[in-house]
Structure 1
């Protein structure tokens, strides 16, 4: 899959984000955001000429940005073919959820005495419910990601925040492959609110128990759907 001219034209709108001092890190941030939004879907080939021209950056800067995103496991370089948005294997999805369970549950378990600073969680829950009312399932997915980032942010650790930013960005590569985002994301809106309500009430143990069940159910559901999609992609007779 290759990026098309129309999409690259939209990418040019991001050029002002680079400011006067264009850096590989800023380019990587822009591309990471666009990948998370599904602008560059899994399997898409990233054209140096098109993207560099749209952003107005040098080939060297763009290649460094590609290297940064390869280290974050969002891109993969294929010899003599180019740079592509990574397509996750089922084992990758499973590993992502193991990481999430370790980090997110540890954050909730380690919370001190209430009350907790929950403004970010409140905003994420409200955002998700609004998106659902508008039938914006991509928006629901984004709100769910925000919810979990805000949950981890309760730890007050910049390092943990950065770890989850990378992990959740990688997870969205799997989300973009799923054909029915409503079925994947809508059931967790009420569960987000349940976790929020438990934390509001100062019931940390209840919130942790709800979170464990949430992550286990989400993992099982996504792997079930994703494994079927991977099997179909590998089977040339799947559409016969």
Structure 2
């Protein structure tokens, strides 16, 4: 893929989020969000000078933030070239889905006795429906991510939430390469509703089966499109 430079316009607006304590963790939170939302697409080179200047942080703070995001597999350091937003391989995508299936299905399987606290899951479903109605297909993608994040949150585990935040942020690196988000995400709106309905009825077993099939079909669809796109661009 062709190398691109990061567009830092708008980062100055995030400067207020740093508060009085400009920590690397806060900077990494801002950059992670920007990467997840597609402002810094895969293959983008991140300039220390421009990003540090926009956020008003020191070079050392920014480098620590880059290190944290490299550990999360969102960035990579290329010798004598700089820091770049990662471009996933097809095997990366397959491995992400293996992790998702292990975690998400286990969470649903371990929910225990109903009723379940499904308000946030239902909100994510409604968010996707609204975005599709407005033809905002990137918004549908975001809503799908929220749906799966809220499913995992049903486990009530901060560690699992943190793991899935990282996994889903990495997955979005693949989504941003695909140039047909409607085809990729629209079919899963109805499947989100079906999983929610199964959970509302107290049938976690059915919800898990629906979720496992969902993830398998999503993997195959993404690999098919992503493999062509990366092959054409790489």
TM-score normalized by the length of structure 2: 0.98
Question: 1:216-231 residue pairs with structure 2 within 5 A?
Answer: 216-231=216-231
Partner of 2:49: 49
2-structure distance, mates of 1:30, 1:68? 12
Partner of 1:238: none
State the secondary structure of the residue aligned to 1:84: strand
2-structure distance, mates of 1:45, 1:196? 40
Question: 1:204-223 residue pairs with structure 2 within 5 A?
Answer: 204-223=204-223
State the secondary structure of the residue aligned to 1:40: coil
Count of residue correspondences: 232
Q: Deviations over 1:192-228 (max 9, x none)?
A: 0100000000011110110000000000100111111
Partner of 1:58: 58
Give me the CA root mean square deviation. 0.8
State the secondary structure of the residue aligned to 1:143: helix
Gaps of 5+ in 2: none
Question: 1:1-240 residue pairs with structure 2 within 5 A?
Answer: 1-3=3-5, 7-234=7-234
User: 1:91 deviation in Å?
Assistant: 0.3
User: 1:2 deviation in Å?
Assistant: 3.3
Q: Deviations over 1:51-102 (max 9, x none)?
A: 0000000000000000000000000000100000000000000000000000
2-structure distance, mates of 1:34, 1:56? 17
TM-score normalized by the length of structure 1: 0.95
User: 1:8 deviation in Å?
Assistant: 1.5
2-structure distance, mates of 1:233, 1:57? 34
Contact 1:46–1:82 (Cα < 8 Å) also in 2: yes
Runs of at least 4 residues off by over 4 Å: none
Gaps of 5+ in 1: 235-240
User: 1:232 deviation in Å?
Assistant: 1.4
2-structure distance, mates of 1:83, 1:2? 12
State the secondary structure of the residue aligned to 1:76: strand
Q: Deviations over 1:100-150 (max 9, x none)?
A: 000000000111100000011011000000000000011100000000000
